[in-house]
Amino acid sequence: MMVVTTHIGDMPAALSAADIVVSASTDAEASAAFRRSRSDGRPVIATTMAARARLCSRESPVLLVKPNSGTAIAEALLELFAKTPQELPAMGRQGASPYRSLLHG
């Protein structure tokens, strides 16, 4: 497991190395990390802001949590940590193709 505790200058590389991405932003728009992680096929934990909720279907590999709730993020992380090493990539791939088509038509 990789834990990031300092600033990373090359965010695309960091996101590509991640098994799970947490996008805790409370900004109304979907963050670049959220969009990239979805299209790259990473399981994502994100807040239930309007733009993100619209981009997530029921079959989505995104766990939407209440904004400003560390407890909700922790519970979502525990849910993902309970999955097998094979389930996480499969979960991410499940949402990558539909999300790419949303982004690129």
Q: What is the pLDDT of residues 4-32, one digit of tens each?
A: 666 677 877 777 778 888 888 777 565 67
- What is the distance, to the nearest Å, from the Cα of residue 93 to the centroid of all Cα atoms in its chain? 12
Over pLDDT 90: what percentage of the chain? 11
12-104: CATH, from 3.40.640.10, 3.40.50.1000, 1.10.287.980, 3.40.50.2000? 3.40.50.2000
pLDDT-derived band of residue 104, with 50, 70 and 90 as boundaries? very low
- Output the six-digit token pair for 79: 């849910």
| Claim: this prediction has a pTM higher than 0.85 | no
Cα dihedral 99/85/11/46 (nearest 10): 50
* Backbone torsions φ then ψ of 25, nearest 5 degrees: -60, 145
pLDDT one-digit tens code per residue, 46-78: 888 755 665 665 556 678 888 889 999 999 999
